[in-house]
Amino acid sequence: MSTVTFENNTYTLTQEAFVSDCGEQYQAHATNGDDEFVVYWDVKQFDGGNDDVPEDELCDWENPSKVEAI
């Protein structure tokens, strides 16, 4: 499983990231010990739109924008 670091905490992703309901972020569930979180990544904006941009380039996957406990 993949891990990401946010504010000096490491989270283990428990699912592949998917587009959030707002369409402006990706999100994925994650764990840190026994606690569960949702990790968010902001979608980058490209000149000419994002329609032809590969998914692996849509976000800065190494730098989540937010992590929330659930």
What string of H, E and C letters represents the secondary structure of the chain?
CCEEEECCEEEEECCCCEECCCCCEEEEEEEECCEEEEEEEEECCCCCCCCCCCHHHCECCCCCCEEEEC
- Residue 22 has φ and ψ, to the nearest 5°, of -75, -20
If one counts the domains in the chain, the total is 1
CB 67 within 8 A of CB 38: yes
pTM of the entire predicted model: 0.88
Domain range enclosing 42: 3-69
What is residue 4's predicted lDDT score, i.e. its pLDDT? Answer: 97
What is residue 46's predicted lDDT score, i.e. its pLDDT? Answer: 65
What is residue 22's predicted lDDT score, i.e. its pLDDT? Answer: 84
Note the pLDDT tens digit of each residue in 8-66: 999 999 999 999 998 889 999 999 999 999 999 999 876 777 777 778 888 999 999 99
Cα-only R_g, the chain: 12
